[in-house]
Amino acid sequence: MTPTPDQLLRAPKVLLHDHLDGGLRPSTVVDLAREVGYTGLPTTDVGELAEWFASDMPRRDLVRYLEGFTHTVGVMQQKDAIARVARECVEDLAQDGVVYAEVRFAPELHTDGGMELDSVVEAVLEGFESGAAAAAEAGRPIIVRALLTAMRTAARSREIAELAVAFRDAGVCGFDVAGAEAGYPPTRHLDAFQLIQRENFHATLHAGEAFGLPSIWEALQWCNAERLGHGVRIVDDISVADDGTVTLGRLANYVRDRRIPLELCPTSNVHTGAVRSLAEHPIGLLRRLRFRVTLNTDNRLMSGVSMTSEMAAVCDAFGWGFGDLEWLTLNAMKSAFHPFDERLAIINGVIKPRYAALSAEAVRTDTARG
Ligand SMILES: [Zn+2]
């Protein structure tokens, strides 16, 4: 019962790890570059630009991978441009079958045109709101919340954490730190994470993507991160013997016992070189061991993915079906920085009934094929 492309598109999805500046439409990059006078694009032809983003992968190197962001961030320095990108992001996710998403961005990267940090956040939230309204009108209701990201290599994390808390009732659901891992341990931003904790707010943290166990350990035990952005290197603490016996180290046990969500982004990991191929991606093992695995896009433009394509990819690589996809989706909804009663409402009112209907449909199709 392999899900068909049409069924995968209709399957309800929950997305916890997606970067706003990593998901622009190529046509929007070109439009905005013209409007704001950004001249750095490799080409102003939409088709060629789409090709440029696609053909530059796989890059197999995180630092190189991040270069694509120069262009997207370059055209997101004005209020209207940011709001447009945010609105289209919500529309694209809704089109992709996403019912709940947390989309992250780093306000400090959008101040080159003179915008203040809070205006950047306001512009994004405004875009999210109009995108959600348009999606609801089109019969695809979606809830989108923002995560504010501080850059690991900069020194503004405390300020960004304060900003996240200030906007907590206006659509911001948590705090994150991102950027090149090597040489920038999460503990450099301890005061920001302590602030989040004292405010009873939420934090996730990019850790254990290209870098190993120490960054995961620091994220959890020093920064009190509730989820791990990627966290895929937790497999370094898991050994599988020739006879199939699996042994978990103390950190891996802790992560699994405490049900700490892993925001896994399989295709992105392959493109950045963190993992060699999708078939070898640890998501297969981690799912089998019942870690709290979630499936995510990371950067839809740079990796050329959607939630639908990512679902298709893991079904293809691991022979998964609707049962696995529902499990991943429920894991993500349970792990969302969203109020408990509202999470339950989405789980029981949207995710479970829609997967039940899809599974029943798949059985009927199978029987008919007989
Ligand atoms: Zn990320």
Provide block-wise average pLDDT over 10 residues at a time, the chain (370 residues): 92 98 97 94 91 67 70 97 98 98 98 97 98 98 98 92 98 92 81 97 90 91 96 96 96 98 94 87 97 97 94 97 97 98 98 96 75
Q: With beta carbons less than 8 A apart as the criterion, state whether 110 and 76 touch.
A: yes
- Measure 118 CA to ligand 1 centroid, in angstroms: 22
Task: Give the total number of structural domains in the chain.
Answer: 1
- Measure 216 CA to ligand 1 centroid, in angstroms: 15
- Measure 17 CA to ligand 1 centroid, in angstroms: 6
Q: With beta carbons less than 8 A apart as the criterion, state whether 361 and 7 touch.
A: yes
- Measure 310 CA to ligand 1 centroid, in angstroms: 15
**Which residues carry out catalysis?**
209
- Measure 298 CA to ligand 1 centroid, in angstroms: 5
Virtual torsion, Cα 295, 271, 299, 146, nearest 10 deg = 60
* CB proximity list for 39: less than 8 A, separation 6 or greater: 33
- Measure 55 CA to ligand 1 centroid, in angstroms: 20
pLDDT for 99: 98
- Measure 179 CA to ligand 1 centroid, in angstroms: 8
Count the residues in the chain.
370
CA 271/CA 305 separation, integer angstroms: 11
pLDDT for 345: 98
CA 305/CA 302 separation, integer angstroms: 8
Q: With beta carbons less than 8 A apart as the criterion, state whether 111 and 147 touch.
A: no
- Measure 12 CA to ligand 1 centroid, in angstroms: 22
Closest CA to 263 of 165, 184, 147: 147
- Measure 364 CA to ligand 1 centroid, in angstroms: 39
Query: What are the structure tokens assigned to 236, written together?
Result: 């370094």
Domain that holds residue 199: 5-369
CA 304/CA 322 separation, integer angstroms: 23
- Measure 18 CA to ligand 1 centroid, in angstroms: 7
Which CATH number characterizes residue 238's domain? 3.20.20.140
Q: Which residue has the tokens 């004005």?
A: 78
- Measure 137 CA to ligand 1 centroid, in angstroms: 30
How many other CB atoms are there within 10 angstroms of residue 24's CB atom? 26
Start-to-end Cα distance in the chain: 12
